[in-house]
Amino acid sequence: GRFEERFGDFSQVRHVADVGGGDGTNLIQLARSWPHLRGTVFDSPSVCEIARRNIEAAGLSDRLDTCVGDCFEDPFPTGVDCLLF
């Protein structure tokens, strides 16, 4: 589909961090497209709260989470093998 064409093949990715991931829309769609995938939205506190609610509403809290941080100052989330910008 168009989503896979835009983001590529995630079949070998285990855990992706969506840096500046906003409300979690892209990460939620990735998780729906790739059922094995775990993911983390990395963004500001208020944005992570919105993403957390959207992830919960999508029923994906078992595979997706959030991590508060500033990509210019803070270390990226640990345990990820792919960064999405």
pLDDT digits (tens, 9 = 90+) for 32-56: 999 999 999 999 999 999 999 999 9
Distance CA 71, CA 69 (A): 6
Residue 6 has pLDDT above 90, yes or no: no
Q: What is the pLDDT of residue 3?
A: 62
Q: What percent of the chain has pLDDT over 70?
A: 94
Instruction: Map tokens 């094995």 to a residue.
Output: 36
Structure tokens at 68: 């508060």
Average pLDDT, the chain: 93
Instruction: Please state the pTM of the whole predicted model.
Output: 0.91
Structure tokens at 61: 């809290």
The stretch 81-85 carries a mean pLDDT of 94
Distance CA 69, CA 56 (A): 20
Distance CA 48, CA 36 (A): 22
Q: What is the pLDDT of residue 20?
A: 96
CB 70 within 8 A of CB 44: yes
